[in-house]
A = this chain, B = another copy of it.
């Protein structure tokens, strides 16, 4: 049983076939799937799993802090299983590829007290946009450099 499943178990989750399968999909490579991509991969392991269960489970994993919700294009939400290491994202504006990146400084320190307006600031997300080597080489229009790793 994966670490993730063990932790979920410890939190009182009922370990259903659906949740196991979703955990397995997320446990693989550190990619950033959309809910529908998770569903597509889950269906290969458990053909009868529903979209609703995937949405429910992903939402719960986000609430528990086991998975991070990421939105790099203003359209689709993606799910990042790399929730236990502080990191940010680097996105290719050509093909949409997403890479996890680690920063040298805590971005919170760049927001001076005078710019906080009394907010209790709790979290920061930083997203870098640029062109990946393949898209630079191909000088391609959006989405034309083949399927990226997101």
In this complex, the member of A71, A124, A130 whose beta carbon has the largest number of chain B beta carbons within 10 angstroms is A130
- Assembly stoichiometry (copies): 2
Please tell me which one of the listed residues B111, B117, B126, B132 contacts residue A110 in the complex, with CB atoms under 8 A apart.
Answer: B126
Task: Give the interface size bracket for A toward B.
Answer: 35 or more
- Using Cβ atoms and an 8 Å threshold, which residues of chain B touch A104? 110-112
Please tell me which one of the listed residues B116, B122, B127 contacts residue A124 in the complex, with CB atoms under 8 A apart.
Answer: B127
Inter-subunit contact B125/A126 (CB<8 Å):
yes
> In whole angstroms, what is the CA distance A123 to B110 when docked?
17
Measured CB to CB, the residues of A under 8 A from B are 69, 71, 74, 77, 88, 90, 92-93, 99, 101-105, 107-108, 110-112, 115-133, 136
